[in-house]
A and B are shown apart, each in its own frame.
Chain A
Amino acid sequence: MAEYDVWAPDYDDWAADMTEDVPFYVDLAREAAEPIVELGIGTGRIAIPIARATGKRVIGIDRSPAMLAVGRDRAGELPVEFREGDFRDFTLEAPVDLVICPFRALLHAATWPDKRRVFESVAAALKPGGRFAWNSFVFSPFIAARIHDQRQTRGGDLWEVVRHVPADNRIDLTRGRGDREDGMVRLWWVTKSEWEGLLDVAGLEVEALYGWFDKRPFDDESLEFVWVARKPWA
């Protein structure tokens, strides 16, 4: 979608702080048969290291042609296939062993019906025993109160302004570089209980909930949900 296209050139600079998720998803990919499916592949920040480290084929789905173009260029000869599509109703040629959705990409789904469709599509795409892994931040009122409406720098002259809309559990994120404003994207934060509900309606089981990519247990103070779910064998 157009709102993500404007972010494509700067996306990797903006995401530069996040590196610890790469080995976590690479390890899951090692344990799975190919192809691996990544939802919200973007510029290939996770998919490319997976392909490089495991040699396995990765199919990535994203709505932003500009992001996909950056990723395709960067992946070169690696076995990564960048597909334009919507993760609410993607379909695959055959069921797979592993679907991942890193970097909070699921928070771009606005409403319960949107999220439910994603989880049901994922469940339909998995083989019995296959895994779905994703991460998202825990909405912290303390962080929100501190950064609300403040302009933050994010590497070089990149900046962002975050506005919180609690009634819609929404975060409006406006980004830019220097004097230029590049537009706004919206994220809808999700509680632990709602994630449990989405797994429930999709018929997926929780294998693990970690509080970070080092697999520490999730607890009351955790600021990241790192979920690994599984489609039942039966």
Chain B
Amino acid sequence: MAEYDSWASVYDAWGGGMPDDVAHYVRLAREADGPIVELAVGTGRVAIPLVRETGKPVLGIDSSAAMLDIARERAAGLPLELRLGDMRDFELDEPAALVYVPGRSLLHLRGWAEKRAVFERVSRSLRPGGRFAFNAFAFSHTVAASLDGQTLDQNGVVHTLHYAVGDSRVDISRDGAATLHLWWATRSEWEGLLDVAGLGVEALYGGFALEPFTDESHEFVWVARKPS
């Protein structure tokens, strides 16, 4: 989508504050005995090291042509297929053993209906026993209250945050670029999305050291499974 195109050139710098999720998704990819798909592959921040370390082919889907252009250039010679598409209605040629969404990208989905569409699409795309893995931040009122209205410099990417509480939304604006939105989701809503998609929870970790999720956790690290 066009709003992500305008962030492509700074996306990796901006995402530099994310938790280090690569090793976790590499491990899941090693355990997958079939096709692997990354949704919202973006510039290939996770997919490229994952393909390099596992040697396995990956299909990456993203809605931003500009992001994919960067990924394609970086992935030259690697078995990473990059496809322009919408995670709400993608189709695979054969069922996947692993679909994963790193980098909190599911938070870009607006409202229940969009999220439900993605979870159902993922469920249909998995082979029995296949896994769906994703991560997202756990919304923190202290973080929100301290960042609302602030202009931040994240590795040279100057952007301003605004929290719209009624819509559980964060607006991220930057000069010369489209405003991006994130919608925070609760544990209960993630459970609901897995429920309607017929996916079972294999694990909920509180971080990428695979520590248990507790009342003190800041990150949801979900591994779900389609029943065999």
Contact = CB atoms under 8 A, between A and B. Distances in A.
Interface in A121-140: 138-140
Interface stretch (A9-17, A37-45, A84-92, A142-150): A142-150
A146 B146 CA distance: 11
Interface stretch (A18-26, A58-66, A173-181, A185-193): A185-193
A116 interface: yes
B169 A220 contact: yes
B153 interface: no
B113 A201 contact: no
B138 A166 contact: yes
B202 interface: no
B145 A220 contact: no
A221 B165 contact: yes
A141 interface: yes
A153 B175 CA distance: 45
B163 A141 contact: yes
Contacts of A223: 165-166
B124 to A, nearest CB: 18
Given A141-B163, A192-B166, A220-B167, A115 B113 contact: no
B141 A197 contact: no
A200 to B, nearest CB: 6
Interface residues of A, number: 40
A10 B144 CA distance: 34
Nearest to A166: B140
Which of A167, A188, A193, A211 neighbours the largest number of chain B CB atoms within 10 Å of its CB?
A193
Contacts of A190: 186, 188
B189 interface: yes
Interface residues of B, number: 41
Interface in A43-89: none
B187 interface: yes
Interface in A86-135: 111-113, 115-116
Contacts of A4: none
Which of A148, A191, A197 neighbours the largest number of chain B CB atoms within 10 Å of its CB?
A191
Contacts of B146: 145
Given A145-B141, A148-B141, A169-B186, A192 B168 contact: yes
A157 interface: no
A169 B186 CA distance: 6
A164 interface: yes
Given A141-B144, A167-B138, A192 B192 contact: no
B117 to A, nearest CB: 11
A148 to B, nearest CB: 7
Contact of B187 (A148, A169, A200): A169
Contacts of B214: 167
A198 interface: yes
B138 A116 contact: no
Contacts of A111: 188, 191
A153 B145 CA distance: 23
Interface string B115-149: 11000000000000000000000111111111010
Contact of B186 (A142, A189, A211): A189
A194 interface: yes
Contacts of B196: 197, 200-201
A213 interface: no
Contacts of A141: 139-145, 148, 163, 165
13 contacts: A113-B191, A113-B195, A115-B188, A138-B165, A141-B163, A141-B165, A142-B144, A168-B187, A168-B215, A169-B139, A188-B188, A193-B168, A200-B112
Given A165-B215, A166-B140, A200-B196, 19 more contacts: A111-B191, A112-B195, A113-B195, A115-B188, A142-B144, A142-B145, A142-B165, A167-B218, A169-B139, A191-B185, A192-B168, A193-B115, A193-B168, A193-B189, A196-B112, A196-B113, A198-B192, A220-B169, A221-B164
Closest 3 CB pairs of A and B: A145-B145, A141-B144, A141-B141
Interface of B: 111-113, 115-116, 138-146, 148, 163-169, 183-189, 191-193, 195-196, 206, 213-218
